[in-house]
Each structure stands twice: as structure tokens, then as C-alpha cells.
Chain A
């Protein structure tokens, strides 16, 4: 395959993922070896840097991510401000509730329920040690499964996960 086409495919994948994509996954999808994928991505990173665009490619350890350029933050805030800005704790609480009641659960499941990307909230919850990775789903891409931690139980005064209030009782009120 031509290099340019491979870059186009990588771009499409990074776009869909939104998250950092390990160079290994890019290699897998393109059916090339990891070194080749690595150098492809480095070239792409340079190409992106040279173009006057709204997006940029960044590298985080062995992964690449498509993000908006920081200099346009003000406009993005203007755009999203018109819709609604969510406080972080709200986003995290929703994400935590979904994980607590549905564990083990993938990020895609959480996002499906919330209708927005949840990377940030998941990162914060992981960092606070309220959730953890409990395995990987046996599906293509092997997505991570999340569950709650002991600290979660302790923090909310639960002896075990079945202590969570049943959902249907509240619905009446």
C-alpha cells in the first residue's frame, strides 16, 4: 500500500478512536510491522505540524492521538459554552454510576449510555482509584473492562457491590 493511503487510514482510525491509539494497533490494522507503523506515524506527525489546521497529532508514549490545537481553545469553549459545560464531578459521577451498576463494562458501553466520550472521566476515576481495569472483553480490539475498587466500596459505605440501592425502587419517587 502507498504511504499516503496508509496515513489516510491512520487518520481515519485516530479520528474514530478519539483516544490515544497504540502504534501496535495501527500496525495491526494496516497489516505492517510496528517499526514501519512507528515511522509512518512520525512522518504523519511532522506533516500535521506543517499544515495550518485545527487538529494536531500528538504522541503519548507509544500511542498517537488526534486533538484540537490548543490555540483554538477559546473558540471551542465558545462553541460548547453555547451548548453546556459539564462540571467534572457530574461527568465522573455519571461514569462511576454506570460502572458500578454494570460492571464489568467497556468504555464504549459507558459512552453509549452517556452519549459523549468519557476518557477524561475514566482517567480521573482511575487516578482516584475508584475504578480499575478488571480485564479485557473477548471481542475484536480487546477493549478494557472496568469495575469498581475496594476503595469505591469503602468510600460509599458499601459492604459489597450488591449493597447498591436497587434501581427500580427509586423510579417511583
Chain B
């Protein structure tokens, strides 16, 4: 419907401005059996993004799928020089099925960039991230930013089998060191990941931890972070209606100053302090 692209005076807490814009699909291809890469031709003004931010996509209505609400998607890549916005998504339900039907040239209305992204403090030289599944999409831009700022980044990529380690090339391409762990090889267990991270810490190569998604990973990294006094951040998900902070549907609980507080994933997040986050 609406395709005006109004200037967002109240900015998202982290950095930029929010716009509702009509984009064009450049390509929308299968990456492997489960994931798809959507590349949009997007106006410059929405490409001033931060790693960890997301867009709210108005998925099209098709004959079989009629998603009603928008769908939140992490920014997998933003390239102002090419005018491109990338999303990596997994087809799970009505909205993503409708996304999967988009063809080059089709229009897609997006709202963003939204939310608060990852931070990289001045003195964090060595960053370590642990990603699994579609969490790769959320963490990929962090690697890009780390390189831009000249930080060293280690990515532990976890997956079911080696074949689905799709972003390894991407992380490598951005100069990150990549460690893969898979269910198939039996290397993706929490103990093994803990051992890998411990090894890095032992040689003084972890200044900050990043992850997103799973509860088990959150607990593990919270433990490691607490033991060694290493700060960390986690990107969280929650059902969203407005994506802007108005409806309060996307709250999660956080531990802060010995109290439980509720914060909106779309507005105060989706990136939160690792120690404050609560498993769910």
C-alpha cells in the first residue's frame, strides 16, 4: 500500500534513521536445501546500517500464502556502493514461503533499518562469535565491520553436517578465522565448543563474545564470560507486530541490577548484553 519513504526523525537507538521504502528484487536464490539469499536493490538512505540491525519485511500475498503481519529479518549484508541489501532466510512458514516466491524485478516493501546492533568497544581486539543455522545471517555483518575496524575475528560455525556450512566462505572472505563444528562429525557439542573457546582464552585471544539464537549457547557463553570477565552480546528473536516499539509484543526478560526488567527486542534490541539476557 503505502510506499512513501518518510524520514525518520526519531532514530533507532543505535544509529540511523528508519524508512519505509519500496525495493526491487535483484535475485532470490537457494543457497542450499534450507536457506535462501534475497538480494534487494535498495535506496542509499536505508543502507546506513549497523551489524545486528534488522528490517521488517512486508512479504507479498500469493495464491497460497497470505501473511498479514510484517516479518523481521536480520541484515545479512548491506552494500551502499552497490545499492544492495541482503537477507539470508530459512523457509519456515507462510511469510518466508511468500518471500521465496519473489522473482527478480518484483517489488518488496521494507521498513528499516531497525533496532540496536552489535557494539565493538575500542579495546576489543579479538572478537569471537558462535553461530548456528540462520544465526549466521545475523552475525555475518559483524565480521565485515570487524575487518573495517581492523579487529581480529574468530567465527565458530556450527551446523548439522559439513555441507550446510554455507557462510564459511563469507567469513573467510572477510578475513575471519573460521572453525567449523558439526553434528555429523560429533564436534558441535557444548563441551567441544567450550574447549575450543577455552583454548582461545588461554592464549589471550578473546576480548568479546557474540552469538544469537539458542538457549544452550547463551548459557555456555554466559558461564564462560562470567568466569573470565569477558563481555558479550547476544541477538535475540521474538514475535513482532510493529517492529518500531509501539505495540510491546516483543518483550523479553533481562536481569539488571538484581531486578527482572522487560525490554522490547525491536527497540532496545535485538542485540542485548549477554549477561543480562535470560534463557527462555
A-B interaction = no
Q: Which residues does A use to contact B, with CB under 8 Å?
A: none
List residues of chain B with CB under 8 Å of any chain A CB.
none
